[in-house]
Amino acid sequence: MKRLRLGMGLRWQLVLLFLLVSLIPLLIVALFAHWAGKRALKDEVRRNLVSEAAERVDYANYMIRNVIDDRLPPTRLRSIGRRIASTNDDNGLSTLKSANEALLNSNGIAQLVRRVGEHREIIITNKHQQVIYTTNEKLLFEKIDEPWWRTAYNNGLGYRWIGDVEYDTETQQYSLPVVTPILGSPPESKVVGVLRFVALLPKFSDVVSSKREGQEVCLFNQHGRIICASPDSGHQFSEIIEMTSAAGDAINARSDKYYGADMNGETDARGVERIYGWARTTEWYNQEELDQQTPTDQRRMNFQFNDQNFANWRVLVSVPTSLAFREVTKSTKIILWFTLISCLVVVAITLVVSQRIVTPIRQVTGAARAIGRGEFDQEIPVTSSDEVGILAEEFNSMRWNLKSAVGKLTEEEKKMTAIVNSIAEGLILVDPNNRILYINPAAERLLDLSQDSINKDITELIRNDELIQIEQTPSKNEDANFVSEITLIHHDEKLVLRTIASPFLDENGQTLGTVYLFDDITREKEIDQMKSDFISLVSHELRTPLTSIIGFVSFILDGKAGEINDKQRNSLVRVHRQSKRLAALINDLLDISRIESGRIQMEQAPISILDIVAQRIDEIRPQADEKSIQLDLTVPESVPQIFGDEARMGQVFTNLIGNAIKFTPNNGEVSVKVEADGNLLHVEVIDTGPGIPPEERQKIFDKFYQLSDISTRQQGGSGLGLSISKSIVEAHGGKLWIDDGNQGKGSNFQFVLPLVREDDNTKREA
Ligand code: ADP
């Protein structure tokens, strides 16, 4: 899963990047093309809409003008005027009838009918409102009293009047009533009658016929009243047009504004968004036409037509926005499709390209993972010389280096393990929390552990107080070798192990744990014990006869066995002295064996060191005098008492001072110093003898040890004195050691003992 994510991640990141880089410009281009195309097309569409509206309004205008102008020039009515003028003075029925006949007989009416063309009605009256001629039989010779008549007659001034366009829903015909005064003969040219005809108009549906899909056209007058509308618009004759802003503009257009458009897209009553163009009737007559007329006619024409309602028609043309801009939408769609296809192509190309980049990276990743698992044999094929190829090459060489380094390390480790496993001592490695990190086979055997013990707490596995004590000794971390002995019961047998605990540090000196080395010294201990037992036995056996030898020699020397001569005395004195030496040696031997077996008995009483040292010096002084050695004692006025065995402490002084005198040549110096130092009593025995080399200072405390130097050996002795003294001092809770003598010459034996204060007398243990 993780592997998949890595590969896919890199690949798809590349794909995404490529897509973004190529797609964003394409999308911007598409949007720009859409915007610019729409903008360009907008002007075009606006022009089309306006010019179409203008064309149509001109056409409607032309049809009306045809009816009004061409069909009825006022001059043509003069012959009719002459005929009806006769009825104006005498308006009796017979006059009317004869006028009617005269009219019918003349070709004036025929001409008129021809001029009027298709019509619904013709009425001709005299100036008394009497109908002289009509196509409507019922009205003949009746009197007409209609507003149109009065308007046209206009008190004899004559006024041409044209009514509103009418529409007959039954016949579906448009008609226009035209009323014109009939003038009499010149020169007066007075109004002699009135002519009204209702001309049938050509179909306006041609004006509003829809030429394009979705197109709607309305023809309406200056009040917004519909004359004709394309069937889709849903408008009927005489309805008020839907008040779109374009329609409002058309209705309210200023006198000098004849066309306009609204391209904002307005939603119509049926919820379709449309754009509009409009135009209105231009001037009825242009100036040139007017100039050809007489001033009176000019006035009439302006008055009659330019202000009439039919002279101010408007045409509104609209198309749905979506259809108008269909081309732009189409091209935008094409661009978008193109974008989509190029996306797919980009994705495909990127996948192929990224494959080339990702595959080697995956190989490197796979090989790195193999190395992580410790497999170094996976070689990456180098397929190119570019960065990826270099990476693969570098990786291969790194792999090779690693392999040989790891090989060497493993070799070393094997060697080390073999060494550690083969040593006779048990070895355990623990971390700072006492968790076992490593156990060698010897340790397993000695401590009855197994490899399962790894990671467990050593103090829990080996329940041994001495070990816990080692573990808790803070100095074991600083002290390179903390040596101690621990005793264990192993398979029902007592086992004594010399244990060395050493800190195990990293290169910065940081403690990583502890190394425990366990050495089985059970056998050594047993032999030691046997030796001690033997010495003890022999000493005991020797002491009894020796005591009686010394006793009897003293007896003889005292003369109690009779007189002895000088020769005999001399021999006996030697026997006595040597026996005493032997007794001392045997005492030392017995002491040491008691000490080792723990059978030595120390008294526990308050004693005065000053008294003891003074007494012992007095005893020993003859020996010093014999060698002319200066023996000094430096003591403070008083020191607190110590708690212990007077005789044994005396033995320590005798030993140390005796050694000093023994090993110091004639005329030398031996000084003894006692001082109280805090809670401790500090004693020093300094001599001017040959001293003890530093490398032997530790060993001289071992029993029977004597310096290798022949001159010291010549002094005699058993090599037990220091060992006994050390044990006695330690049994008193003190410490005995040797330091450099005066300026590196001679020896300086020192020991400290804890002083007893009044309050801890009771606490002192045996
Ligand atoms: P010994 O009975 O041989 O004196 P000790 O245990 O008292 O036994 O001393 C052991 C050895 O230490 C001596 O044999 C001697 O070599 C050395 N030694 C002890 N004290 C001194 C000293 N003051 N100067 C030099 N060497 C000494």
Render pLDDT for 19-49 as a digit per residue (tens, 0 to 9): 888 788 888 888 888 888 888 888 888 999 9
For residue 651, give the amino acid letter.
Answer: Q
- Classify residue 30: in a domain, yes or no: no
Note whether 635 and 619 are same-domain residues.
Answer: yes
Same domain, 587 and 670: no
Q: Is residue 606 part of a domain?
A: yes
pLDDT tops 60 at residue 765: no
Say if residue 287 is in the same domain as residue 397.
no
What CATH number did the domain enclosing 613 receive?
3.30.565.10
Percent of the chain residues past pLDDT 90, beyond the cut? 26
Q: For residue 680, list its beta bridge partners.
A: 677, 754
Q: How far apart are the C-alpha atoms of 144 and 367, rounded to whole Å?
A: 118
Which protein residues are within 6 Å of ligand 1, measured from CB?
A: 655, 659-660, 663, 687, 689-690, 692, 700, 705-707, 712, 717-723, 747
> Is 334 among the domain residues?
no
Query: Which ligand 1 atom minimizes the distance to the CA of 690?
Result: 25
Query: What confidence score (pLDDT) does residue 152 get?
Result: 86
Whether the link from the prior residue into 187 is cis, omega within 30° of 0, is yes
Higher-confidence position of 321 and 711: 321
Give, for 375, the enclosing helix (H) or strand (E). Answer: none
Q: Domain for residue 38, yes or no?
A: no
- Same domain for 405 and 430? no
Assign 453 a pLDDT band (cuts: 50, 70, 90). confident
What integer pLDDT is reported at residue 69 of this predicted model? 67
The token duo for 572 is 């006996």
Q: Which residues contact 488 (CB under 8 A, 6 or more apart)?
A: 447, 462, 464, 494, 495, 497
CB atoms inside a 10 Å sphere around CB 60: 25
Last residue of a domain, one of 560, 595, 630: 595
Phi, psi of 22 (to 5 degrees): -90, -30
With respect to residue 348, please indicate whether it lies within any of the assigned structural domains.
Answer: no
pLDDT reported for residue 764: 45
Kindly give the number of the ligand 1 atom that is closest to the alpha carbon of 716: 3
Q: What is the CATH number of the domain that holds 480?
A: 3.30.450.20
Which range of residues forms the domain containing residue 110? 71-202
Q: Is residue 412 located within the same domain as residue 431?
A: no
Indicate the Cα dihedral angle 480, 483, 489, 494, nearest 10°.
140
Q: For 511-625, where are the E strands, in sequence order?
A: 511-520, 605-607
Q: List residues bridging with 123 in a β-sheet.
A: 134, 196
Phi-psi region at 744: left, alpha or beta (left = phi > 0; alpha = psi -120 to 50): left
Measure 370 CA to ligand 1 centroid, in angstroms. 69
The per-residue pLDDT for range 244-294, each reduced to its tens digit, is: 899 999 998 887 788 999 988 888 888 899 999 999 887 656 667 667 777
pLDDT band for position 3 (cuts 50, 70, 90): very low
| Residue 300, in any domain of the structure | yes
The H or E element that residue 183 is part of is: strand 173-183
pLDDT value of residue 576: 92
Domain shared by 615 and 702, yes or no: yes
E-assigned strands of 363-506?
426-430, 436-439, 482-490, 493-505
> 217 has which bridge partners?
317
Q: Is the pLDDT of residue 461 over 70?
A: yes
Q: If you measure from the C-alpha of residue 725 to the centroid of ligand 1, how many angstroms do you get, rounded to a whole number?
A: 12
Single residue among 202, 231, 261 that ends a domain in this structure? 202
Residues 568 and 634 in one domain: no
Quick one: pLDDT at residue 307?
Answer: 53
Ligand 1 atom nearest residue 703's Cα:
6
**Average pLDDT of the segment spanning 432-460:** 88
CA distances (Å), 747 to each of 385, 421, 436, in order? 81, 45, 46
Q: How far is the CA of 259 from the centre of ligand 1 (A)?
A: 141
C-beta of residue 666 within 8 angstroms of C-beta of residue 629: yes
Q: What is the pLDDT of residues 341-363, one digit of tens each?
A: 888 888 888 888 888 777 877 88
- pLDDT for 2 equals 47
* Residues 535 and 611 grouped into a single domain: no
Q: Is 298 helix (H, G, I), strand (E, B) or coil?
A: helix
Q: Is 117 a member of any domain?
A: yes
Among 520, 554, 571, the domain-final residue is 520
Q: Which residue among 586, 663, 749 is best mutated to probe the pocket of ligand 1, counting the most ligand atoms within 8 A of its Cβ?
A: 663
Strands 493-505 and 482-490: antiparallel
CA angle at 69 for the pair 131 and 110, rounded to the nearest 5°: 45
Arithmetic mean of pLDDT, 527-546:
85
Lowest mean pLDDT among 52-56, 193-197, 216-220, 703-707: 703-707
pLDDT of residue 1: 44
Residue 709 CA, closest ligand 1 atom number: 16
Interval 717-746 mean pLDDT: 86
Do 101 and 180 have their domain in common?
Answer: yes
365-410 pLDDT, tens digit each: 888 888 888 788 878 777 778 887 888 888 888 888 988 998 999 9
Of 69 and 221, the structure prediction assigns the larger pLDDT to 221
Residues 192 and 218 in one domain: no
| Co-location of 186 and 126 in the same domain | yes
Cα(692) to ligand 1 centroid in Å equals: 9
Query: Quick one: pLDDT at residue 763?
Result: 47
Does residue 625 share a domain with residue 694? yes
Counting from 1 in the atom list of ligand 1, the atom nearest the Cα of 722 is 6
Q: What's the total number of domains in the chain?
A: 6
Pairing of strands 630-634, 669-677: parallel
> What is the residue with the minimal CA distance to atom 8 of ligand 1?
719
72 pLDDT tier (thresholds 50, 70, 90): low
Is there a domain that residue 637 lies in? yes
**pLDDT tier at 631 (50, 70, 90 boundaries)?**
very high
Global pTM value: 0.45
